[in-house]
Amino acid sequence: MGLGERDPRDVGAESPKGALGRLGLAPKKHFGQCFLADRGIAARIAELTAPAGGTVLELGAGLGALTRPLLERAERVIAVERDRDLVPELRTALGEAVSAGGLTVVEADAKAIDVAALLAGQPAPHALAGNLPYQITGPLLTLATRAARHLDRVAYLVQLEVAARLTARPREGDYGALSVFVQAAFDVDRPLVVRRGAFYPQPNVDSALVVLTPRSAPIEETETFSQLVRAAFAGRRKKLGNAWKGLSPREALASAASRAGIDLERRGEELDASAFARMAVELDVERSTAPKAVPR
């Protein structure tokens, strides 16, 4: 190759459309594939994901648009990709990084991976990142919350509407159960909006990068905590006394709410994650001390 020429197999040197065409492929709708095509935005996401060194576990590496700038910043990148047509291309195009030990490409469904196992023994800090297919954003957020204690940062590119829900505070219109569950584990920031034209194929909505930093004192998502949150938002306009009436006898709810400092005349959208956690603790106390029914 002459000076300034790029290897045609370098996925960073060609557009996603061009790379897929060269491979005889098309975006797979059933995978929800929308490839990041703006290298400037990819570099900015990498900067926000991996400030310096450490290991990044990337979900849905695709054609390597984000993998490449992550490799420039992180000590190790573990790239997870489900599409078996793209995995060989990643290993070939980024073969130098693979050979040097800086990159591991894993063919797997991101929803089913064991984050702790993949990061075990890898240099810290540990980050989880990805341009998420919209239809599996929920499961991958759940994956992050369950692995929060093994992570120092999560950087997800999600639908703008989802980012609004993740960052919403009590009494705001976008605040809901998803807000509570994620904020129980993380402090949430939205540092970057990415317009739809940055992707191929172009989606019908804009996206945003959310950066999730594990809380210094995370809230445990117990079964009672989950029940309270889901019931509170199942009937959004219901007062808490009515929304929670199926969870325990009214007297037990009233006693637990009093000790937790919660007014049952309020609505779920007024409580933050800490308030739900206090109620969960007190309701568990009520349940544990309630008289047991005697079999006849």
Q: In the chain, what are the domain boundaries?
A: 11-214, 223-287
- pLDDT-derived band of residue 170, with 50, 70 and 90 as boundaries? very high
- pLDDT-derived band of residue 10, with 50, 70 and 90 as boundaries? very low
In Å, how far are 51, 249, 262, 291 from 286, measured between CA atoms? 46, 10, 15, 10
**Where is average pLDDT lowest: 3-7, 88-92, 229-233, 261-265?**
3-7
Beta carbons within 8 Å of 95's beta carbon, 6+ residues apart: none
In Å, how far are 123, 127, 203, 262 from 77, measured between CA atoms? 10, 10, 27, 45
Q: Quick check: 155 pLDDT over 90?
A: yes
- pLDDT-derived band of residue 296, with 50, 70 and 90 as boundaries? low
- pLDDT-derived band of residue 110, with 50, 70 and 90 as boundaries? very high
Cα radius of gyration rounded to whole Å, the chain:
23
Question: Which CATH class for the 11-214 domain?
Answer: alpha beta
Per the model's pLDDT, the better-predicted residue between 134 and 292 turns out to be 134
If one looks up domain 223-287 in CATH, what number appears? Answer: 1.10.8.100
Q: How many CA atoms lie within 13 A of 219 on its CB side?
A: 24
3 state SS of 246: coil
- Closest CA relative to residue 127, chosen from 60, 42, 39, 53: 53
Distance CA 285, CA 5 (A): 69
Distance CA 157, CA 51 (A): 17
How crowded is residue 52: how many other Cβ atoms within 10 Å of its Cβ? 9
